[in-house]
Amino acid sequence: MNVCVVGGAGYVGLVTGVGLAQIGHRVVGVDIDDERVSALNAGRSPILEDGIDLLLERNLTNGRIRFTTDFDEAVTQCEFVFVAVGTPSQSDGQADLSQVIQVAESLQNHLAAYKIVVLKSTVPVGTVELVRDILGEGKEEGRDFDIVSNPEFLREGTGVRDFFEPDRIVIGTSSASALKATRELYAPLIDGDNTVDHAPIPVIETDVASAQMIKYASNTFLATRISFINEVAGLCERVGADVREVSRGMGYDPRIGHAYLQAGLGFGGPCLDKDLRALIKIAETSGFEPGLLRSVLDRNELQIDDVVRKVKFMIGHLLYHRTIAVFGLAFKAGTNDLRNSMAVKVVTQLRGEGATVKAHDPVDFSEAEQAGIHSCYVADPYEAVRGADALMILTDWPEFSALDYGRIRDLMASPAIVDARNMLDATEMAALGFSYNGIGRGVDPLSHAGRP
């Protein structure tokens, strides 16, 4: 089939585009970013994602994917229009739908032939009705267009695998013909044919409102699990338990499982925080009090304070003119994404209190503009720790476990580590002469401060 992906140079749009091309469709990715479009047509991916470069090169070579900034040309030739533009949070938490609205308004002029408009962007309930109203000016739903809500469940770092091996495919629509056509589009995945080697995928056929709520509820539940285990970690520090053992023991219960039960710095990135805030706003505007959802968000924001509190205990309450080395800036390992990174938030707080931060990440962020990260980025991890009063591990890159911590100890002004991802062995670090503090691993000295 002929598919246009609007926002095709972004994370969701690119993974979706190359995935659809790989299973046999002809895809045009349209985007307003000239540099990204040029790079993609030259075979260079702007995102760090395992497997994306190979798929991009393969499908450019066989002519099944290309990229353009020409919206008119891209949309005119397609049967499906995937909308994969951003819906960032506004200051009040509400999803910013301006890009979705702009796409709908532009698309309204290109409905000379029937098209299926697939909303891949994460949008609140009511957005389909909004898009329907825009497209319906002088056009008729069912004759000129149909709308499908098809939320994405891509995890950065494993997005390509998630496309080909999804836990489920959600198709929300009121049109039987659009449902049938969308199933046909995904048939190589659904049927588990020779293109993709895995078992058939569950397909959730539902209404558009439920499809959109499935996405928000899923991400919010994952955020809830993270906040829950971080709360348990704080309690473990009070009673001398190890949250890693607690999480391991909990996870064997089939009703619970092990996923998203790793205590650490909290949830960040472009999805969980944004979708949680949006769901809170949806509840508020619907006259529903989201008490649990608010507490999930509050717990996550407290985690930054807790981690900074740990480093203050180790080197002194005043951080002014103290040098803090930071390992990790990306919001998670395996990505080059700084959006809503908890590590960046910690760095911002440290610098706001007068600390000098020297930050290293396996991804080169020397040109990153967000929060002035470029000014504190250090390419070599050993240079980052030179003369540091403390080291904070904020992203779980496996490369950090393989470093020579004896050398790191010798380079630091004082051997203190706050391991906000529980990556290192506390006993080994103590044997090397480090003062070590993880998350929820035994008694936190601060937990007994002020007690007799």
Residue 374 burial (10 A CB sphere; 0-12, 13-18, 19+)? middle
Question: Over the chain, what HEC string results?
Answer: CEEEEECCCCHHHHHHHHHHHHCCCEEEEECCCHHHHHHHHCCCCCCCCCCHHHHHHHHHHCCCEEEECCHHHHHHCCCEEEECCCCCECCCCCECCHHHHHHHHHHHHHCCCCEEEEECCCCCCCHHHHHHHHHCCCCCECCCEEEEECCCCCCCCCHHHHHHCCCCEEEECCCHHHHHHHHHHCHHHHCCCCCCCCCCCCEEEECHHHHHHHHHHHHHHHHHHHHHHHHHHHHHHHHCCEHHHHHHHHHCCCCCCCCCCCCCCCCCCCCHHHHHHHHHHHHHHCCCCCHHHHHHHHHHHHHHHHHHHHHHHHHCCCCCCCEEEEECCCCCCCCCCCCCCHHHHHHHHHHHCCCEEEEECCCCCCCCCHHHHHHCECCCHHHHHCCCCEEEECCCCHHHHHCCHHHHHHHCCCCEEEECCCCCCHHHHHHCCCEEECCCECCCHHHHCCCC
- Could you give the CA distance from residue 384 to residue 391 in angstroms, rounded to a whole number? 9
Instruction: Write down the catalytic residue from 4, 78, 236, 271.
Output: 271
Is 4 part of the annotated catalytic residue set?
Answer: no
Active site (catalytic) residues: 271
